A and B are shown apart, each in its own frame.
Chain A
């Protein structure tokens, strides 16, 4: 069996809903499942009327952290490949922020691998959100529930 394929991208541009599929499948026929997660910007969070948010990251460390998380997932589950795309810069409600794809021969590995990657990404990858709401701007606070989700694994 070949090494799992890991693709990590940090970009300002929007991505399509099927972004990453072709690269992950790569004309292979031993992949039986692809699980995808797409995170979107909500118009409510800490404030009720969020008009936009700005995502900042730490170039270099971000890509490395995402690559490490994908590699951890591949080590724990029988994944044939992982795609992580995370956007930075200014986003408005409805915009996609993050996309995670996990591929495997059987569905359970892909489901769990994808779930794991999102939980760890939210507590480890160096991204920070500043929300712009009608009442003013503020930095989003870390959540206890996110730490709890990451601790499940």
Chain B
């Protein structure tokens, strides 16, 4: 893999895009600002001392996208046809999610513009809220997707939305398991990478039927990424013994999902 911003001598180099044909380009980036529940409440209610936080952060993000070429040394100046910045307040997770979309018809991609928009929108959120909360953390600034260009489209494989009180290595989806019968679920090899999680535990109360089919349905209802469990090639074992959809699940069982084996 060649880094396009380095020339053959390893020196920084602005890529000549004059010979590329213009095409439709679009990029989406995202990030999060983690904050105290009280800060999130004030923000939602519009009661922070500096005024309308989200409107200010949105304008900051849009302005930043347009000025990306001034900030990032080897970026081309682009005439963007569309920039949008959106916010979602997730009170359960204690974060404000920021998502930016940039679009143009041109010769180079717009992912740096989308990432810059997210970064500056996050910084502005921080600035607007810092009077009441200095513990805020800006995190997970990343490209979600891009379309167009010679290298083709990109879509980040999304980790499933996990709520509840998980600790590293054991993530709970929904209700706590101490109070109810619980199943431990593992995802192995390629399947783990496709669903974006290796282990979770789930209350059996969330299963309409206490069997493998019921577990799959409950997981898919929780997050569409788990649809891969319905694929015919996905295999399942309960307590390390191969099992089919009709196999029953009881309290404390370990259920593993995995692809066909390829050892030897």
Which residues of A are at the interface with B, using a C-beta cutoff of 8 A?
39, 55-58, 60-61, 64, 86, 97-98, 118, 121-130, 139-142
A142/B263 contact (C-beta < 8 A), A56-B189, A58-B240 known: no
Residue B87 CB within 8 A of the other chain: no
Q: Are B263 and A55 in contact (CB under 8 A)?
A: yes
7 contacts between A and B (CB under 8 A): A61-B241, A122-B263, A126-B261, A126-B263, A128-B259, A129-B263, A139-B190
Known: A97-B263, A127-B264. 17 other contacts (CB 8 A): A58-B186, A58-B237, A58-B258, A61-B237, A61-B240, A86-B263, A86-B264, A97-B264, A122-B263, A122-B264, A123-B260, A126-B258, A126-B261, A130-B189, A139-B189, A139-B259, A142-B262
Q: Are A121 and B264 in contact (CB under 8 A)?
A: yes
Q: Are B264 and A128 in contact (CB under 8 A)?
A: no
CA of A142 to CA of B264, assembled, Å: 12
The 7 A-B residue pairs whose C-beta atoms are closest, nearest first, are A127-B263, A128-B189, A142-B260, A61-B240, A139-B190, A122-B264, A140-B262
Q: Which chain A residues lie closer than 8 Å to B259 at the CB level?
A: 128, 139, 142
Q: Which chain A residues lie closer than 8 Å to B262 at the CB level?
A: 122, 127-129, 139-142
CA of A60 to CA of B188, assembled, Å: 13
Which residues of B are at the interface with A, using a C-beta cutoff of 8 A?
186, 188-190, 193, 233, 237, 240-241, 256, 258-264
Closest A residue by C-beta to B235: A126
User: Distance (Å) between the CB of B185 and the closest chain A CB?
Assistant: 13
Q: Are B261 and A123 in contact (CB under 8 A)?
A: yes
Q: Which chain B residues lie closer than 8 Å to A58 at the CB level?
A: 186, 188, 237, 240, 256, 258
CA of A55 to CA of B188, assembled, Å: 12
